[in-house]
């Protein structure tokens, strides 16, 4: 049955509660199915489940019966200057129909060019031309999926001299024109601001929080650039840093409780370590809920 246009432009946040979730990894399938932990939701990378069947789908189907699900795409290349890959988009759409996730998100980045796919999420210049192209691609994706999607702010290491928008302003305009929602990756905020010498609190003051439907938290690695200046890497391979937790609390104080994902994609730890990070986020969300309710009541 076709999805009505009004429904196709509406997110389904009610299916993913304003709780802490974790990225589902194969190493944890057994622990999750055996213990049925009290986790708000699970998130998976869409590209890891594009095969027709096999163990990944068997495990995900079993887990999906008991938990809300969020899908996170890494390969649509929404920022590409060429057309979207139609076959890839159709595979994503089939996966969305199969698992009916509460949320689907992608990145403000590009990862393909001329038929070649890169294992990176590469930055885009913030210009009027890029804005038009990104919005056209978002329209195509949302029409194909029959739903609103979330676009994630990037972790960046360089800035384009040709950019005419500051990143938060660019994201606000993308959301306004396309009708998409936003995924606020707080670790990406910290990484980008440290690397480009931006003030993270100023960045968040400008960020269009009214469009945010999900938050990501992750760990970063430290390095140095060619001038021996500190360089942060969005590594997803360790615990969340205290600086990122502090920014998260700052965001929740303004935004209230929204679904929050713990990302840990490399050097995946034992389940207990990942669950402990989720529990810390859960405590922060519970603390934010009363103030959110007071604001709602005050606004009528």
Q: Domain ranges in the chain?
A: 10-298
Q: Is it the case that residue 215 has pLDDT exceeding 90?
A: yes
Band of pLDDT at residue 86, cut at 50, 70 and 90: very high
Closest CA to 249 of 203, 204, 219: 204
pLDDT of residue 211: 98
- The model's confidence at residue 292, banded by pLDDT at 50, 70 and 90, is low
**What gap in Å lies between CA 49 and CA 266, rounded to an integer?**
18
> Average pLDDT, stretch 224-232?
82
Looking at mean pLDDT, say which of 61-70, 74-83, 108-117, 121-130 comes out highest. 61-70
DSSP the chain: -PPPHHHHTS--GGGS-SSEEEE--GGGHHHHHHH----SEEEEEGGGG-SSSSHHHHHHHHHHTTS-EEEE-S-S-TT-SS---HHHHHHHHHHHHHH--SEEEEESSEEEETTEEEEEEE----SHHHHHHHHHHHHHHHHHHTS--EEEPPP-S---TT--S-HHHHHHHHHHHH--EEEEEHHHHHHHHHHHT--HHHHHHHS-GGGEEEEEE---EEEE-TTS-EEEE----SPPPHHHHHHHHHHHHHH----EEE---SS---HHHHHHHHHHHHHHHHHHHHHHHHHHHHT-
Report the pLDDT value the prediction gives residue 113, as an integer from 0 to 100.
Answer: 58
pLDDT in the model for residue 297: 46
Residue among 64, 39, 11, 14 nearest 285 (CA): 39
Report the distance separating Cα 259 and Cα 50, nearest Å.
25
What's the pLDDT tens digit per position in 110-154?
775 566 565 667 789 999 999 999 999 999 999 999 999 999 999
Q: What is the pLDDT of residue 123?
A: 86
Residue 57 has pLDDT above 90, yes or no: yes
The architecture CATH gives domain 10-298: Alpha-Beta Barrel (3.20)
**CA proximity to 177, closest of 222, 208, 217:** 208
Question: Is residue 12 scored above 60 in pLDDT?
Answer: no
300 falls in which pLDDT band (50, 70, 90)?
Answer: very low
- pLDDT band at 1; cut points 50, 70, 90: very low
- The mean per-residue pLDDT over the stretch 76-98 comes to 95
Over the chain, what is the mean pLDDT? 90
CA distances from 62 to 56, 92, 264 (A): 10, 20, 22
Which pLDDT belongs to residue 290?
67
At 17, list the tokens. 């509660």
Question: What pLDDT does residue 20 have?
Answer: 98
What integer is the mean pLDDT of 40-58?
A: 94
Task: Give the position of tokens 């402990």.
Answer: 276
């Amino acid at each position: 049955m076709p999805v009505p246009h009004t429904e196709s432009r509406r997110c389904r946040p009610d299916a993913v509660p304003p709780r802490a979730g974790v990225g589902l990894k194969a190493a944890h399938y057994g622990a999750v199915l055996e213990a049925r932990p009290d986790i708000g939701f699970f998130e998976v990378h869409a590209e890891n489940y594009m095969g027709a069947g096999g163990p990944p789908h068997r495990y995900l189907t079993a887990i999906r019966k008991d938990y809300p699900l969020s899908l996170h795409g890494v390969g649509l290349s929404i920022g590409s200057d060429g057309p979207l890959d139609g076959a890839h988009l159709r595979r994503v759409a089939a996966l969305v129909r199969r698992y009916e996730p509460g949320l689907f998100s992608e990145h403000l980045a590009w990862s393909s060019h001329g038929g070649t796919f890169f294992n990176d999420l590469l930055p885009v210049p913030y210009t009027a031309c890029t804005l038009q192209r990104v919005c056209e691609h978002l329209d195509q994706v949302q029409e194909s999926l029959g739903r609103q999607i979330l676009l994630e702010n990037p972790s960046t290491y360089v800035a384009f001299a040709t950019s005419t928008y500051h990143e938060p302003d660019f994201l606000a305009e993308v959301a306004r024109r396309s009708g998409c929602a936003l995924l606020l990756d707080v670790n990406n905020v910290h990484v980008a601001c440290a690397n480009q010498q931006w003030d993270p609190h100023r960045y968040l003051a400008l960020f269009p929080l009214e469009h945010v439907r999900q938050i990501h938290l992750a760990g970063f690695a430290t390095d140095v650039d060619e001038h021996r200046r500190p360089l942060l890497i969005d590594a997803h391979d360790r615990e969340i840093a205290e600086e990122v937790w502090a920014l998260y609390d700052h965001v929740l104080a303004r935004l209230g409780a929204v679904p929050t994902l713990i990302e840990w994609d490399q050097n995946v730890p034992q389940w207990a370590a990942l669950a402990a990070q989720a529990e810390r986020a859960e405590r922060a969300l519970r603390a934010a809920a009363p103030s959110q309710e007071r604001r709602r009541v005050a606004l009528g």
